[in-house]
Every structure is written in structure tokens, then in C-alpha cells.
Amino acid sequence: MALSANGVIENPKGIPDWLSQEYMQGFMKICQQTKAVIMGKKTYKILAPDFLPLKEDGTTIVLTNDTEALPPNPTVVFTNKKPIEIISQLEKKDHTAGVIIGGSRTASEFMQAGVVDDVYFVVEPIFFGNGLPIFKDAEFEYKLNLLEVLKLNSNTIQLHYAIHK
């Protein structure tokens, strides 16, 4: 996920004009590698249909209470299942890894459920005085192992952490 330097994941305008090209490339790459992408309905509504990272292949899991709604194609699943159930659903489809792309509510729920092994944060060179934090209203505390720091361009870094369990 992309963060401002003060941990916010959307700007007050709701326009992703603060995200670097390098972030977008890394985002697409990890989605293509795992072929299993998990997101909340709010994020889905922003991305679909043109900017969804997986179009016709892989599995796109969308958390929503509106499970009656019909997904546009069979690779998209609308679900209100718990994180642990979603993971076994992905395993049944032979996925060995999945990437949670946001937003805050979805990332917080998966973190709280204790099912996240690795985190990639791309820190963009900007502060927002307001906006949605990466995690919110969740009960957890994890210690992290810093695996890698990558400078993606002159102002943007990528942090790769493993979560201590």
C-alpha cells in the first residue's frame, strides 16, 4: 500500500494524484505475481472496471455486505466472509499467496485477524493534515522485521517488513 510520510492512504480530495509511477508499477507487479487480490468494496468502486489489477485472470476478492450483487465476471468474488475463511477459499483455488491492497478497513481487519505475513509500504513524499490512516479501529500490536528498504525514485521509498508472529 502507498502511504504519505505521515501514514495517510488517501488525500482529502480523494484523487490519487500523489502516487508515483514507481508505486503503480510495483503494485501491478505484486498483483500479477500472486494472482490473488483482496480489497474492500470502497476500493473496488474506485478501481473497477478499468484500473483493477487483475482483469480476466486470477482471483479478485471484494469484501462487501452486499453479497447479492452480481460480480461482473467469474474471477471477481463478492464476500462477507472472515479473513481466515477467505484464505482457505484462496487455498482451495491453489493460490499460495494473496495481496491485500486496501483500503484502511480491509487492511485493518486482515491485520487484526493475524493472517498477514509480509507488508510492503511505499512511502510517498507528502504530508496530509487530514485523511484516512493506514490502520483504524483495530486491536493489534505487531513487532516487525525490516527485510528491505528500496529507493524507488529520488523521493519515494519502499519498506518491506515481515510480521513477527
Ligand X SMILES: NC(=O)c1ccc[n+]([C@@H]2O[C@H](COP(=O)([O-])OP(=O)(O)OC[C@H]3O[C@@H](n4cnc5c(N)ncnc54)[C@H](OP(=O)(O)O)[C@@H]3O)[C@@H](O)[C@H]2O)c1
- Work out whether 88 is an interface residue with ligand X (CB under 6 A): no
Binding residue count for ligand X, defined by CB under 6 A: 24
Peptide bond into 49 cis (omega under 30): yes
Q: What is the DSSP letter of 164?
A: P
Residue whose cell numbers read 490473488: 36
- Work out whether 43 is an interface residue with ligand X (CB under 6 A): yes
- Work out whether 41 is an interface residue with ligand X (CB under 6 A): yes
- Work out whether 10 is an interface residue with ligand X (CB under 6 A): yes
User: Helices (H) and strands (E) in the chain — how many of each?
Assistant: 4, 8
- Work out whether 101 is an interface residue with ligand X (CB under 6 A): yes
**Least distance (Å) between residue 140 CB and ligand X:** 15
- Work out whether 156 is an interface residue with ligand X (CB under 6 A): no
**Least distance (Å) between residue 128 CB and ligand X:** 11
Residue 17: exposed, middle, or buried by beta-carbon count in 10 A (0-12, 13-18, 19+)? exposed
Half-sphere exposure at residue 112, Cβ-oriented, CA atoms within 13 angstroms: 13
- Work out whether 103 is an interface residue with ligand X (CB under 6 A): yes
**Least distance (Å) between residue 120 CB and ligand X:** 10
